[in-house]
């Protein structure tokens, strides 16, 4: 029987949204159902993200549990929160009953602790309930927090025939089988098999004689970024998760890793700009302020520090007013150099491409700072001398100070991330305002100290 739907690529147009809203308004359930069921649940979620909460709730209550549970997963986080608040604990339990355990656990974890207990209480399938409860116990920022309990596992003592008989039930719940995992009597992971291997083997053979002993796995407390790295490295589409004793606990599939990668990229990008929480452009002003103000305050204290230093050298500037003209230039350049250096190092640390030799790196950064500093200093020399009519000594001072500050900024930008990384702190925290603030203070200090040395005040 063919699928009658035409092959039209989904497009979220205003007309479509209005059409849906109209059908909701006139309560044409039959037509609404017919229209929406043509779409992939990710597309239905896109539509619901655009309509009012009431309209979304109408649709959620209209469509069947299996569809709405998947739609719930795809909704914008903030909208999902609102929808969940408008569903009873029993209704939520019905929704998650239709989901894979990892998605079910994710949704439940978004609720308050009290609601979590209520929802779990209402889950009908005892096995499903137990599995979800187990998953909720894991830290969400680990392999355990990512994995699902759905997988196909066979015991090495089984025969191929017995195997095929028993896995039909397991395979029904598993959307994409990928590999079949082989465990021993203590449920410890010992190897893997593909469906093809199983079908090709003689029915009387023992699993123990045909499975592949070499299988990639991750520990349940592994960092999600590490899991992503391993799966990308070995081109895996699924990876089993085990505990410290190699007992098979669950499985992570590639689609979850894609989400991890995209969220990680967003998070690092925001950290680099000094935004400390996961915010979106459409969040409330209060949420955005909470996320942005901390770093602004840190940057501000850097500015206060710079102000104190300038204050301390104020007589120098009465004598050599040209010095002050170039303060913004020195600050800006030091900041840019520092951010560039740290961005490269942070990426290198994330991709494991940083050579261990610290001394070599120190030399390289100094040389790089010198080369770039010289290039910039030469331009500044000309402009300050011919443009601003500074004296020869003043111009040289500004340039030498500039080069020194640049070299120093390159070193700071390189070694703060490495230092943080060696102490287990996320090096991505180092970039952005943290680096620019350090550079502001050290930059101004160096600038004036060099000037003092050369011009003698």
Identify residues 193-232 at the interface with its own copies (CB under 8 A): 208-217, 228, 231-232
Binding to its own copies, residues 232-251 (CB under 8 A): 232-235, 237
Sign of the CA dihedral 34, 75, 222, 149? negative
Stretch of residues binding its own copies (CB under 8 A), selected from 15-23, 57-65, 160-168, 337-345: 337-345
Lookup result for tokens 């006139």: 26
Nearest of 252, 230, 126 to residue 181 by alpha carbon: 252
Largest CA distance in the chain: 97
CB of 24 to its own copies, least distance (A): 22
Task: Determine if 336 is a binding residue for its own copies (CB under 8 A).
Answer: yes
77 binds its own copies (CB under 8 A): no
Measured between alpha carbons, how far is 114 from 104 in angstroms, rounded to an integer? 17
Contact between 126 and its own copies by CB under 8 A: the answer reads: no
Q: Is 186 in the site for its own copies (CB under 8 A)?
A: no
Please report the DSSP string for 98-117 in residue order. Answer: TS-HHHHHHHHHTS-HHHHH
DSSP assignment, residue 454?
A: I
Burial code (b: 16+ CB inside 10 Å, e: under 16) for 16-25 equals: bbeebeebbe
The CA dihedral of 425, 225, 69, 250, to the nearest 10 degrees, is: -110
Q: How far is the CB of 238 from its own copies (least distance, A)?
A: 10
| Number of residues in contact with its own copies under rule CB under 8 A | 121
Name the 3-class secondary structure at 40: coil
Q: Quote the CA–CA distance of 286 and 353 in Å, as a whole number.
A: 39
Q: How far is the CB of 122 from its own copies (least distance, A)?
A: 27
The 132-161 contact track toward its own copies, x by CB under 8 A, reads ------------------------------
259 binds its own copies (CB under 8 A): yes
Q: φ and ψ at 185, to 5 degrees?
A: -65, -25
For residues 34 and 426, give the distance between their C-alpha atoms in angstroms, rounded to a whole number. Answer: 49
Q: How far apart are CA 21 and CA 371, in angstroms?
A: 62
Is 314 a binder of its own copies (CB under 8 A)? yes
Closest residue by Cα to residue 158 from 109, 105, 114, 211: 211
Q: Work out which of 101, 179, 333, 438 binds its own copies, going by CB under 8 A.
A: 333
Q: Is 52 in the site for its own copies (CB under 8 A)?
A: no
Site for its own copies in 267-286 (CB under 8 A): 268-270, 272-275, 279-282, 285
Binding mask 21-50 for its own copies (x = CB under 8 A): -------------------x-x--------
Stretch that binds its own copies, among 28-36, 101-109, 137-145, 322-330 (CB under 8 A): 322-330
Query: Does residue 436 bind its own copies (CB under 8 A)?
Result: yes
Token readout for 414 is 């390189």
The secondary element (H helix, E strand) that includes residue 82 is: helix 77-85
- From the CB of 174, what's the least distance to its own copies, in Å? 13
Interactions with its own copies, residue window 363-382 (CB under 8 A): 364, 367-368, 371-372, 375-376, 379-380
Q: Does the footprint of its own copies cover residue 446 (CB under 8 A)? A: no
């Amino acid at each position: 029987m063919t699928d009658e739907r035409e092959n039209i690529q989904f497009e979220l147009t205003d007309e479509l949204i209005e059409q849906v809203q109209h059908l909701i308004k006139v309560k044409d359930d039959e037509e609404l159902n017919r229209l929406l069921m043509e779409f992939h649940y990710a597309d239905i979620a896109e539509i619901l993200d655009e309509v009012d909460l009431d309209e979304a709730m109408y649709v959620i209550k209209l469509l069947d549990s299996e569809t709405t549970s998947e739609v719930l997963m795809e909704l914008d986080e903030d909208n999902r929160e609102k929808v969940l608040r408008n569903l009873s604990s029993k209704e939520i339990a019905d929704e998650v009953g239709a989901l894979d355990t990892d998605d079910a656990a994710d949704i439940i974890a978004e609720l308050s602790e009290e609601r979590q207990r209520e929802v779990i209480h209402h889950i009908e399938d005892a096995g499903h309930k137990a599995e979800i409860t187990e998953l909720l116990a894991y830290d969400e920022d680990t392999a355990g927090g990512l994995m699902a309990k759905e997988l196909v596992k066979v015991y090495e003592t089984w025969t191929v025939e017995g195997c095929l008989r028993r896995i039909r039930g397991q395979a029904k719940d598993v959307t994409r089988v990928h590999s079949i995992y082989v465990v021993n009597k203590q449920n410890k992971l010992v190897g893997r098999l593909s469906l093809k291997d199983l079908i090709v083997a003689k029915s009387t053979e023992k699993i123990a004689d045909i499975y592949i002993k070499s299988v990639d796995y991750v520990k349940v407390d592994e960092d999600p970024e590490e899991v992503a790295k391993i799966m990308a490295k070995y081109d895996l589409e699924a990876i089993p998760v085990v505990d410290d004793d190699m007992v098979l606990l669950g499985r992570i599939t590639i689609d979850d890793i894609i989400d991890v990668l995209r969220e990680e990229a967003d998070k690092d990008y925001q950290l680099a700009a000094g935004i400390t929480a996961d915010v979106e452009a459409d969040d409330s002003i209060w949420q955005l302020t909470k996320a942005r103000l901390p770093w602004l305050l840190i940057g501000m204290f850097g500015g206060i520090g710079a102000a104190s230093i300038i204050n301390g050298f104020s007589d120098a500037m009465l004598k050599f007013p040209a010095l002050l003209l170039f303060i913004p230039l020195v600050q800006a350049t030091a900041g840019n150099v520092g951010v560039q250096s740290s961005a490269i190092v942070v990426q290198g640390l994330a991709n494991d491409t940083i050579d261990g030799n610290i001394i070599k790196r120190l030399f390289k950064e100094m040389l790089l700072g010198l080369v770039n500093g010289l290039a910039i200093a030469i331009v500044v020399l000309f402009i300050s001398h011919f443009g601003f009519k500074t004296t020869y000594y003043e111009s040289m001072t500004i340039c030498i100070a500039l080069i020194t500050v640049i070299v120093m900024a390159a070193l700071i930008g390189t070694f703060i991330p490495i230092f943080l990384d060696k102490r287990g702190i996320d090096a991505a925290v180092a970039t952005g305002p943290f680096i620019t603030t350090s550079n502001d203070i050290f930059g101004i200090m160096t600038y004036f100290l060099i000037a003092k040395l050369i011009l003698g005040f």
